Structure formats: C-alpha cells, structure tokens
Amino acid sequence: MGEVRSARESIFYTVVLAATIALLYTFQAEFQDSLPIRFSSYDEIESVFGVLENAEESKYDFESERSCNHTFYELTHGEEGRLDNGTLTGVHIFLRHGHRTAMDSKRAKKTPRNLCDIRSTVKKMMINQKACFTSLLESAMSVYTQSDKCISSQLTALGVEQHKRLGSFLRSRYSSFTPDFAVHSTTYSRTFLSALSFLSTFDKSICTKTAIQPTKDTYFRGEAKPCPSSNLLKKYFKEKTWTNTSIEYRQKLTKLYKDTWLDVIADQLFIESCSSSCFSHRCKTSAKHEKCLTDNDFKNFTSMVASVNYEYFKNENYQRHSYLSVKPLIKRLFSETQSYQIYSGHDLTIGAILSYFDFFPSFRIPFASRVVFEFFEGDSFRVLFNGVQIFPKLLNQTVQIAEFSDEEKFKKLFPSSKSMKDACSKQLIKNFRRRKRHLDS
C-alpha cells in the first residue's frame, strides 16, 4: 500500500511540475493578452440572463460562491453617494473587468457559445459609442465582431451585463453630477469592453465626446518612474498553497480539472458557477463519488480557498508589492480631488488599492468589482469596495487628506528604507525571503 501510494505521489508531483510550467505561460498570457471579443444579439443575452437567474434561484450548491452572489446582489447595492453631510467634489471609480472565459484556451473553448457570442452588442457599441473608440480599441474589438467562438480571457455576455447593471446603479447614486468623467482602460479587450458596457448605462453622453484613454499600466501610475523592486517582488507571493487537504483530495481535484494549480481550479470554479449550465464535475446523485465532486468537496474547497486567499493578501511581500505599485496613483488622486475619473482594470488593481488601505479579503476579488474614492468639500475623503466603506473603518466618517499619513505603514513594510527611491531599488529584494514553494506544505 505504501509503495502504491508513493508511486502515485511521484506521478502526482511530476504532473505538478509540468502543470506549473504550463501555468507560467498562462500567467504570461494574462498580462500580454490584448485579444478581442465577440458578441451576440441582445435578445440572446437576455435569454441567457433569464436562464442564469432561474438557475440561481434553483440554487448553486457551491454555497459561499461570492462571484455569482456579486453578480446578482452587490452590483446593485452599496453605500456610494449616500453621505448626507458632505458635498462631493470628486469621484474616482476603479473597475475590475466583468465575467470572462478561462485564461487557458482549451478550457475557454468549453464555455457555452451563447456566452461568448456578443457580436451584435459590440457592433452596436461601435456605432452608439463611437467617440470612445481609438484605433487601438477598434482593432481590439474587431476580433469579437467577427466570430462567435469562445477564446481565452474574453469578456462574456455575462461580463457585459454585470457592468451594465453596475453602471446604472452608480448613475442612480451620482445622478446629480453633471461633470464629465474621464475614462482610462488597460489595453485588454476585456477591460475596454467592460468600460464601454459600464458607460452605456452610467452616462451615454461620455462616448459621444471623448475617447477612452488606453494605458499599459495595471496600476494607472501615469508618468511615475519605474519601480524595479515592485516587479521583482511579484515572484515572492504569487504561489497559492494547498492547505488542510489530504493528498487524495488534491489528486481528485487535479485529475478532474487537469491542473495542479489551486488558483486555476478556483478560477475555473468561479467562472463556471456564474454560468451554471457548464458547472463541470459535480456529482449527479447516482454517480460514483471518486469521479466527481460532492457537496462536501465543494465546501472543503471553498473554505480552503478562503483561507488561502486571506494568506495571500496578508503576505508581506504582497503588501510591499501593492504599496509600491499604487503609491504613485494614490498620490495623484490626492491632487485630483476635484476630478471625476473611471479606470477599467484588473483584480490586481483592486487588490493593490485594498492592500494599501489594510483591507485583506478572504475571497477572490469578484468579477466587476469596484473601488470608489469619494472626495468632499474641505478636502476629505473615503474609500468604498463593492459598496462597503473600507476606509476610514467607521462607516460614514471621512478623513482629511492633510491628516492622512501612510508613514507608519511604509516603516513597517520597509524598515531599512528611507524613501520610495530606496524601496524601489533592486537591492531591497535581498532583504525579503521568498516563500516556500506551494507543494512543501
């Protein structure tokens, strides 16, 4: 028995290695893709949403699934724009793109076609929101308008709908503001299209006047100098570790999902749980339990993913990376308190801002998440994440910019550095030990 087991284990680890290598490519794809998208008729999208909503009512068993709950609840609820005693002078809205297909193209191809075919939606946008399109944006969209096939990391019909709902909700909260919002987006088809979808309900007039400004920078730093240590630190926190699970359990999941990387499996489960029709590997009542996932398996996975995510966000190297990445942005925001802007980005963008304000989620950052900065007369501000105020910690309070300081935080994270310049030097990295590899524990 012991021998069988160790043979199995060695196969397991070989698979792990191969998958890790494969994954590195997937991650590269995440940051390099500027792939376009396709769309379907609006009626089809409606019909998809009919199905989805019914499916939700007749329940997903993956109970604490946040990304779907987010779709149907958090997108239309929140505290934004509800502070009675303050006059708003500026609003900055950071968005994560909406629901997308898997990063891996084989997996992505299994997405139901009706979620990927958004051709006519995009075509309509190209006409109705013409002024928002630069030539870069237009060429990013062309792939979507030309095919109905699912490709990797494309925005889906569900992703479009998420941002339409969010846009219309936030418009209801900021209805008294006439100033025009400036709009920025990273150069990915999914972030472009998320911005367009959001704007279509948030304020149609924006896309009759100004183009969406593209940026290659996930952290919207503008002209800020590069920070080498921030890039190097990425290697020091990326791995998410399988915890609290037996080897049999890992094997079952890695076999079913053909991947050993916890985060890839979690991503896939979240993607699927939002579009119930393709929720794979769930046990039907009659099935053998070795070959499919039981309710209990899902529960274990969810609780594991929760603790793993919390550890990930709490990791000091993650916090260091986040601090260095968003510091220039935060600095700029404090000098733009009379301005209205929308930024369409990624979970990395959202996560780094949350980390800067000491908010550490125990869940994956859901699709179509938002962080909103509200600035008030008298130069005070507050920060909200998905409708919940996260800074300052007391609800409905605000903080004077002049009284805000991140010095303590900086000292804690970079005890041997005197300035941002020091903290950004490559030398700095030597002080911080790399975490153990994900299979050690």
- What residue ranges bind ligand NAG (CB under 6 A)? 63-64, 69, 73, 82, 84-86, 243-246, 249, 296, 300, 303, 307, 376, 380, 395-398
Residue 170 beta carbon to ligand NAG: minimum distance, rounded to whole angstroms: 16
The residues, any chain, with a CB within 8 Å of residue 369's CB and separated by 6 or more, are 70, 95, 96, 347, 350, 385, 386
Cis peptide before 392 (omega within 30 of 0): yes
Shortest spacing between CB 239 and ligand NAG, in angstroms: 16
Cα separations in angstroms, 1 against 98, 207, 246: 47, 66, 16
Give 187 or 243: the residue with its C-beta nearer to ligand NAG: 243
Q: Which of 255, 315, 221, 238 has its CA nearest to residue 16?
A: 255
- Indicate the residue whose CB is closest to ligand NAG: 86
Sole residue written with tokens 């997937």: 26
Cβ closest to ligand NAG, residue 63 vs residue 180: 63
Least separation in angstroms between CB 291 and ligand NAG: 15
Establish how many alpha carbons lie within 13 A of residue 88's alpha carbon, considering only the half-sphere containing its beta carbon: 22
Counting other chains too, the contacts that 414-418 makes at CB distance below 8 Å and 24 or more residues apart are 414/320
Strands 380-385 and 388-391: antiparallel
**Smallest Cα–Cα separation from 138: which of 48, 220, 207?**
207
* Smallest distance, ligand NAG to C-beta of residue 71, A: 10
Distance between CA atoms of 102 and 271, rounded to whole angstroms? 7
Q: Which residues pair with 91 in a beta bridge?
A: 340, 374
Between 215 and 337, CB nearer to ligand NAG: 337
| CB 304 to ligand NAG: min, Å | 6
* C-beta closer to ligand NAG: residue 246 or 431: 246
C-beta of 231 vs 251, nearer to ligand NAG: 251
Answer for the pair 232, 429: CB distance below 8 angstroms, yes or no: yes
Q: Distance from first CA to last CA of the chain, Å, rounded?
A: 23
Cβ nearer to ligand NAG, comparing 9 with 422: 9
Dmax (CA) for the chain in angstroms is 72
Cα 282 to the chain's mean position, in Å? Answer: 25
Shortest distance in whole angstroms from residue 289 CB to ligand NAG: 11
Nearest to 368, CA basis, from 137, 198, 145:
198
Q: Least distance to ligand NAG from the beta carbon of 267, Å?
A: 18
By C-beta, is 82 or 291 nearer to ligand NAG? Answer: 82
How near is the Cβ of 398 to ligand NAG at its closest, in Å?
4
C-beta of 201 vs 300, nearer to ligand NAG:
300
